[in-house]
């Protein structure tokens, strides 16, 4: 029997959940119906757009761009700061609803889930069942979702990205020539900006072009990634829906109370690198990838504050997580002496589908392979046998090097 897989994707998740919560609390304005966005600090016009409304999208506002640029495009943009506690509440409630329809629900990210519906249509057509799920979520929680239907996970995910919002689309293996191949190559899952440029340079403009291209040439150009995108273009994907419990994917963190106040950004970065490396080692050991990161700071007056961000691409790569942690720290730190630093990753998944971001780095795959090699060395010879050169060059005193392990 062929698999029947649903991919449920919340429409503009953070904004939808923010709107639903505000309406529940008596707000008479639905921010989904005006030019609005979730992200950063609206007073300082600082940070990035995490989610935007349909009207904001018409003004050209894009997810991931700076608030400064967003305000230039849409001066009347209403920006609200993110409230991740609320978002996790809505995400959890959605998962509870989905589990009423099948016993295999995979939490792929905070706003996405895969469902194995192979034996759970209860005599209804897949489309009718998907519409029922949509209506249930909207009636109970107040937000809409797209649902992609297929016999393969990757195709279900791509189907859910077709026309939005509140739509149901199918993309079965037998439909890829009609529905998938005519699409521009950038629409293929796992093809980012850098890959798109390389593919167009050799005459590949549509997904169909890629599906019918010479595989050995693709593997020479893109290494393992060439096989992956070729397979996806041809609807080849053997991964299964992995049932997981929401509580089991909350997050992984590491922190340290400093033996003396740190006052330089350079020293803070070294500590954050060590904390990030420890977190990512544990992440990979548990075979998870993260979609959210958080840095925690406590100054010498014991005032604590945090800064968090949702990543555009799930990852377990130390360098990728560290680059984002540094950005969050630099945006947050008020130049006061530091007493405590912490790093946390959340929104975890065990899925092997790693999506390329808008700013995809072709070196990420090499970095992940290097992480695996280093993890194996540490496993065989001990945690401290490998130390990054940048940590050895730290200005922290030798007696304090335990902070950097």
Average pLDDT, the chain: 84
- The class level of CATH for 184-233 reads mainly alpha
52, 164 in Cβ contact below 8 A? no
Residues 124-174 pLDDT 10s: 999 999 999 999 999 999 999 999 999 999 999 999 999 989 999 999 999
Specify the DSSP element, H or E, that contains 38: strand 36-38
CA 249 to the chain's CA centroid:
14
Residues 42-60 pLDDT 10s: 555 557 888 899 999 999 9
How far is the C-alpha of 281 from the C-alpha of 67, rounded, in Å? Answer: 33
Alpha helix positions (H), 109-202: 126-141, 153-160, 193-201
**pLDDT over 50 (residue 272):** yes
Residues 217-268 pLDDT 10s: 999 998 888 999 999 999 999 989 988 765 555 678 888 877 778 888 999 9
How far is the C-alpha of 361 from the C-alpha of 323, rounded, in Å? Answer: 12
**pLDDT over 90 (residue 394):** no
Q: Is 41 known as a binding-site position?
A: no
Options 18, 112, 196, 277, the catalytic residue: 112
Position 370 scores a pLDDT of 62
How far is the C-alpha of 378 from the C-alpha of 366, rounded, in Å? Answer: 19
Residues 278-329 pLDDT 10s: 898 888 888 888 888 999 898 877 677 788 888 877 888 888 899 999 999 9
Q: Is 111 known as a binding-site position?
A: yes
Position 120 scores a pLDDT of 83
Model confidence at 398, in pLDDT bands (50, 70, 90)? Answer: very low
For the record, the structure tokens of 124 come out as: 């209804």
Residues 345-378 pLDDT 10s: 987 877 655 555 444 555 555 666 666 666 665 5
314, 268 in Cβ contact below 8 A? no
The three-class DSSP label of residue 366 is: helix
The domain covering 1-180 belongs, at the CATH homologous superfamily level, to Reverse transcriptase/Diguanylate cyclase domain (3.30.70.270)
Residue-wise DSSP of 181-248: TTSBGGGSTT--HHHHHHHHHTT--BHHHHHTS-HHHHHHHHTHHHHHHHHHHTT----------GGG
Tell me which CATH code domain 250-404 carries. 3.30.1490.100
Residue from 155, 136, 164 nearest 52 by CA: 164
**pLDDT over 50 (residue 397):** no
Average pLDDT over every residue of 375-390: 54
**Is 100 one of the catalytic residues?**
no
The three-class DSSP label of residue 270 is: helix
Average pLDDT over every residue of 81-93: 89
Domain layout of the chain by residue ranges? 1-180, 184-233, 250-404
Specify the DSSP element, H or E, that contains 291: strand 290-299
How far is the C-alpha of 229 from the C-alpha of 401, rounded, in Å? Answer: 43
CB neighbours of residue 88 within 10 Å: 17
Model confidence at 207, in pLDDT bands (50, 70, 90)? Answer: very high
Tokens 């069942």 -> residue: 129
Model confidence at 209, in pLDDT bands (50, 70, 90)? Answer: very high
């Amino acid at each position: 029997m062929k698999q029947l897989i649903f991919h449920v994707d919340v429409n503009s998740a953070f904004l939808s959940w923010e709107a639903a919560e505000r309406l529940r609390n008596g707000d008479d304005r639905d921010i989904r119906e005006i030019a609005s966005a979730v992200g950063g600090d609206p007073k300082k016009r600082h940070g990035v757009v995490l989610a935007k409304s349909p009207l904001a999208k018409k003004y050209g506002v894009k997810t991931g761009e700076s608030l400064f640029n967003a305000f230039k495009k849409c001066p009347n943009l209403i920006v609200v700061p993110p409230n991740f506690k609320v978002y996790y509440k809505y995400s959890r409630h959605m998962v509870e609803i989905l589990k009423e329809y099948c016993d295999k629900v995979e939490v792929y990210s905070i706003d996405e889930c895969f469902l194995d519906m192979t034996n759970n249509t209860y005599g209804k057509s897949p489309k009718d069942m998907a519409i029922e799920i949509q209506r249930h979520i909207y009636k109970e929680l107040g937000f809409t979702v797209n649902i992609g239907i297929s016999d393969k996970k990757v195709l279900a995910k791509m189907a859910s990205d077709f026309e939005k919002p509140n739509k149901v689309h199918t993309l079965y293996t037998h439909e890829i020539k009609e529905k998938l191949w005519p699409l521009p190559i950038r629409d293929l899952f796992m093809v980012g900006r850098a890959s798109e440029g390389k593919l167009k340079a050799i005459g590949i403009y549509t997904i169909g072009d890629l599906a019918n291209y010479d595989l050995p040439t693709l593997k020479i150009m893109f290494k393992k990634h060439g096989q992956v995108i070729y397979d996806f273009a041809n609807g080849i994907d053997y991964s299964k829906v992995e049932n997981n419990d929401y509580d089991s994917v909350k997050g992984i963190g590491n922190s340290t109370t400093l033996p003396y106040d740190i006052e330089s950004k350079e020293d803070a970065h070294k500590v954050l690198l060590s904390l990030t490396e420890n977190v990512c080692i544990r992440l990979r050991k548990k075979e998870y990838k993260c979609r959210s990161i958080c840095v925690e700071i406590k100054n010498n007056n014991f005032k604590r504050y945090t800064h968090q961000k949702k990543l555009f691409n799930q990852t377990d790569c130390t360098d990728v997580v560290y680059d984002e942690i540094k950005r969050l720290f630099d945006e947050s730190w008020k130049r006061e002496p530091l007493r405590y630093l912490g790093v946390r990753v959340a929104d975890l998944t065990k899925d092997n589908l790693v999506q390329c971001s808008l700013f995809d780095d072709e070196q990420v795959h090499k970095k992940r392979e290097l992480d695996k090699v280093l993890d194996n060395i540490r496993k065989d010879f001990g945690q401290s046998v490998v130390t990054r050169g940048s940590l050895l060059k730290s200005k922290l005193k030798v007696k304090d090097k335990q902070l950097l392990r």
